Copies of this chain bind each other. A is one copy, B any other.
Amino acid sequence: MAKAVKGSRAESQDWSDQSQEIGRRARAAARVLAAASTNTKNDALVTMAAALRNSTDTIIKENAADVAAGKAAGLSAALLDRLALTKDRIEKMARSLDEIATLRDPVGEIIEGYKRPNGLQIMRLRVPLGVILAIYESRPNVTSDIAALCLKSGNAAILRGGKESLRSNLAIHKALSEAATSQGLPADALQMVDNPDRDLLAALLREDRWIDVVIPRGGEELIRAVAEQSTIPVIKHYKGVCHVYVDELGDLDMAEAICFNAKVQRAATCNAMETMLVHKNVAARFLPRICRRLAEAGVELRGDERTRRVWPQAKPATEEDWYAEYLDLVLSIRIVDDIQEAIDHIATYSSNHTDAIVSQDLKHVQQFVRDVDSSSVMVNTSTRFSDGGEYGLGAEVGISTDKLHARGPMGVRDLTTYKWVVYGNGQLRT
């Protein structure tokens, strides 16, 4: 619902005029993009990469202004780090554009095709979704990544970044957009919302006539707010409360390496382990070694009662701990009686993002793979691999925690839909 706008700026009606205009333009551009050749799109991507490199100084200057404003506004060091761009980071963004140019064009793929008894030839043809509204926070590299993924898949993009990175985003967008239009693509293929007002965003989220899908990336609060307000389908990217279950028939050396990697290699990511489940028959052997190693790496351990009998240094875990996405060097630990208890724990507390088993027993592995209803189920490897790049998707739109359309790491293919095409020679329905 649009809140009243303060001051002399505008009435709520004006936002819907503006959002409609943005949507209408995007739709017109989408019709052109859907018909653009792979070569045109790839040429544009390579030109956009070059434009980013050429605009490095301007982008860094604008970014410095964002960072200074962020510091003045008291942004945390972690947020400031996400916000800050360097020559190196811009080069990485450009390289990502070059890479996306080399990906196979998903548009035009015949997903399946067959002939019916009456002679009709039926096929499902992969086509762009149309218009994508991407909403994201601080990190300005998302601007070029999402822009490139939308373009490659033939979609018009409406980009709405965070207020704190607006100047950086506008500089990046200017470089990308000029490059794309120089290759003959419509200027509205890539629109950046230059007004950070939340009421404009709210108005955009109701343009279901012009916008086909909303992809929010950021904190849980942002995503929930978007999902509540939107009349457009939303592909959500919620949190990861990821588990590793160490089975009684697991290789404990492997389990130790996997659990350490899943927790410590990059604790702030959504695919890091937050809870470790350990079979009671191996707890006495396994817990002391992994707990010592984790503690030495600075991990705060919180265990259930049985865990604390084996590793008394652990703090007591509360019910909230089982639901928690720490995104930090904190780990909750629970001892379970058997694999079924581990599966039940995951069914209750997991966010169904990524959950792993360490076991050499085929029956247990099969049971875990079948019964754990998560977007990624890992066997004898780290939850940290749950990632578009690691899955070979080339570049990642995000990690969907929804079940519809796309689940888990989303690549460029997941920004498409299909149309049924039916060729006949005069068949009539009887």
Contact = CB atoms under 8 A, between A and B. Distances in A.
B35 A371 contact: yes
A422 B130 CA distance: 32
A73 interface: no
Given A428-B257, A429-B261, A420 B375 contact: yes
Interface in A186-230: 212-213, 227-228
A418 B429 contact: no
Contacts of A424: 378-382, 385
Contacts of A116: 390-392
Nearest to A114: B392
A390 B6 CA distance: 57
A401 to B, nearest CB: 12
A96 interface: no
Nearest to A108: B370
A285 interface: no
A75 interface: no
A117 to B, nearest CB: 9
B421 A377 contact: yes
Interface in A399-422: 402-405, 407-409, 417-422
Contact of A233 (B233, B265, B428, B429): B233
Nearest to A227: B231
A429 B385 contact: yes
A209 B68 CA distance: 42
Contacts of A390: 116, 120, 429
A19 to B, nearest CB: 18
A129 interface: yes
Nearest to A391: B122
Nearest to A260: B428
B403 A404 contact: no
Nearest to A414: B404
Contacts of A384: 428-429
Given A34-B371, A403-B130, A392 B423 contact: no
A369 interface: yes
B31 A377 contact: no
A168 interface: no
Contact of A386 (B378, B381, B420): B420
Nearest to A381: B424
A342 to B, nearest CB: 14
Contacts of A212: 403-404
A235 interface: yes
A254 interface: yes
Interface of A: 31, 34-35, 114, 116, 120, 122, 125, 127, 129-130, 212-213, 227-228, 231, 233, 235, 251, 254, 257-258, 261, 265-266, 347, 369-371, 373-382, 384-386, 390-392, 402-405, 407-409, 417-430
Report the 5 A-B pairs with minimum CB-CB distance, sorted nearest first: A381-B424, A384-B429, A261-B428, A405-B405, A404-B405
Given A233-B402, A254-B425, A381-B426, 7 more contacts: A34-B371, A34-B373, A213-B403, A376-B422, A385-B422, A404-B404, A407-B417
